[in-house]
Structure 1
């Protein structure tokens, strides 16, 4: 009596694993949920840091899972004033931390700056990503200079960072010349990790190898 693996189930399961493994590279970047959680700056006029991710004043719906290219093609703008919808720091530079909610492959950071006439608009900035909220260990994924619209509503600007895994994002920025720092909104794009789907596929593979039929 010999034992033989159910090859049909194995083939189906291995195909599923390969498809899941291909998700990270094959899928286009989509909008990611992100929440502003910390800053080392003091707010001017009590503007809360949560303004940076509250989506108030955006011209269209910012929905996690939306294809990034499709979203940017709608020319999403921010119509509000900095005090009402953005964040105004009392310092000319600072760090701003965001929680993406889970580990993702970050590919883009989206900035809605304030207007070009404001000397305190966001200028040079760098982006770091980490798996921990204290950024004890982090990776630098890009250094940029933000542009600005001439007037409200201000346009979105997407910055292509080095694709990197992580959950927490830190933006360290300086103003373009003023003694405070202002920008309106921050968004993120990338590829969510298919960890749960991969685990399920691997579990099926294990079941396939355990499922044997007896051949006389």
Structure 2
């Protein structure tokens, strides 16, 4: 009976470990844009729109420009994200600028760099984005492998037009910061239980 119990606990621990190791979506707690339009209202084309979920539903982003970010000037820009804690990043999801007013404003080529202190950054990705459609669009996802608290997205150019923008950005990471201590405590209690039983 006890062996069955131990086996069950081991299986449960393995499931918990697998769950802790599965990727989870990370929404940044802050973002700073090198430029933002923002002259028509407190949220219109602001940088915050790329992390607040506005216009995003069931993984698809709409074509309403009020839910997007756009530069005040220029076709290159930088977005600095604060993840709120250190994460082992496994991916980034980017929804490009998607207003049919001028789809060419969408970002095209970009580089991504990570940092633990917000000062020194290391590049871990270079990529390109497709132009939006003006309808509901899914994210374009890119694999990452880097430990970071801060992430810098440097947009190098757009698909045409005088400005550049995005709709939404989030990240995936594994494990969550609190997952490993909890998992370690569970394994420790299991070991203690087995040791007491043998004694």
SS at match of 2:183: helix
In structure 1, runs of 5+ residues without a counterpart are 1-6, 62-70
- Shift in CA distance, 18/103, structure 1 to aligned 2, threshold 3 Å: farther
Counterpart residue number, 1:147: 130
Instruction: Please identify runs of 4+ aligned residues in structure 1 that moved more than 4 A.
Output: 7-25, 205-214
Counterpart residue number, 2:47: 49
In structure 2, runs of 5+ residues without a counterpart are 40-44
- Could you report, residue by residue, the CA deviation over 1:30-49 in whole angstroms, capped at 9, with x for unpaired residues? 4222234223x222234321
- Could you report, residue by residue, the CA deviation over 1:163-193 in whole angstroms, capped at 9, with x for unpaired residues? 3332322211123244422111112223333
- Shift in CA distance, 199/213, structure 1 to aligned 2, threshold 3 Å: closer
Of 115, 123, 139 in structure 2, the residue corresponding to residue 130 of structure 1 is 115
Alpha-carbon offset, residue 19 of structure 1:
5.6
Distance in 2, matches of 1:107 and 1:96, equals 19
Counterpart residue number, 1:38: 32
Q: CA RMSD in A?
A: 3.3
Distance in 1, matches of 2:52 and 2:35, equals 19
**TM-score, with length taken from structure 1:** 0.67
Counterpart residue number, 1:105: 88
Count of paired positions: 187
Note if 1:195 corresponds to 2:180: yes
Bigger fraction of residues in strand = 1
Instruction: Name the larger-Rg structure.
Output: 1
Alpha-carbon offset, residue 50 of structure 1:
0.8
